Amino acid sequence: MNDNQQGGILISEREPGKTAPDTVLIAEDDPICRRVLQSALQNWGFRVITAEDGLQAWEILRRGDAPDLLILDWVMPGIDGPELCRRIRERRDAIYPYILLVTGKDNTQDVVQGLEAGADDYLSKPFDPTELRARLQVGKRILALQQELIQAREELRFQANHDALTGVFSRAAVLSLLDRELQRAARSGMPTGILMMDLDHFKTINDTYGHLTGDVVLKEVADRINGAVRSYDCLGRYGGEEFLAILSNCYPGDLRAVAERVRFAVSDTPIGTGTMSLAVTVSVGGIVTSHATPSLESLSAADAMLYEAKRSGGNRVRLGPFDLDTTKVRS
């Protein structure tokens, strides 16, 4: 096992071949106590980061990769344990770190003071190793539960903002993004592009091959469109077989380039449905605006262009009219 010194911070690496352990920060100014704690935790499979005082611990905790399981000594130079607890809790991070406060103080008032400062648990020196290990296991269980809750929350948030079939933004979410983008564009004076896209003859696909096949086609089309727009553009399912893309900082030349990429991405290769391959095309209509245009008015203008593309036979791009320099491209 190797100990690496990085900027005054001791990081103990795990032994080769072992599974990746949990990481614990030990903030302890007594070198003997710090070494005893470090050795015990390493034997239990933890990766250990040590700090020699409260200030060094605070610097570690302000990094983006700081541990979530902390053992803090009460009495330390610079910042003591209770004050470090208070600073940690005042940050109100998305991830709640579990804090075990270790000290020679053992009267009830001290315990209350430490817990009120933000500690989750309290261990008196000299501590029993089995008790320390048990308390750390409690902290691990709480942090694991927290991670499960965060993951569940993120899944619910994704479901609320995304279309269940295609995985792109839902209608409500993409319209909300459009409102915000148009407001931002009005403030900055930078143009915003809007593309409305509609699959050609999609009703025939559903009627002929069934809705399950239609779902496969919709999902593949959404994936192809998502790959054709720029990485920072927003794509949503506007309804049925219709999609809406919002392109920030988009000049007419950019809009045309993206629109043609979308059309080509959908129509270039037939879509495999498991039992057959279907040739699918899409009609695209779009506009560019740099004014404080209401979203409904902008959508109506883009939809009018989409209607022109459909009326021209489908598998077409129709854009404009523009009030900007149509020769400028920023793709």
Indicate which residues carry an active-site annotation: 241
| CA-based nearest residue to 40, from 133, 104, 134, 160 | 133
Cα–Cα dist 153/70, whole Å:
25
Tell me which residue has tokens 């208070």. Answer: 86
Are 82 and 113 within 8 A, CB to CB? yes
Buried b (16+ CB within 10 A) or exposed e, 161-175: ebbeebebbbeebbb
Cα distances from 59 to residues 56, 98, 146, 283, 315, in angstroms, run 5, 17, 24, 55, 58
Cα–Cα dist 325/58, whole Å:
53
Cα distances from 270 to residues 224, 235, 277, in angstroms, run 12, 22, 6
Secondary structure class of 185 (helix, strand, coil): helix
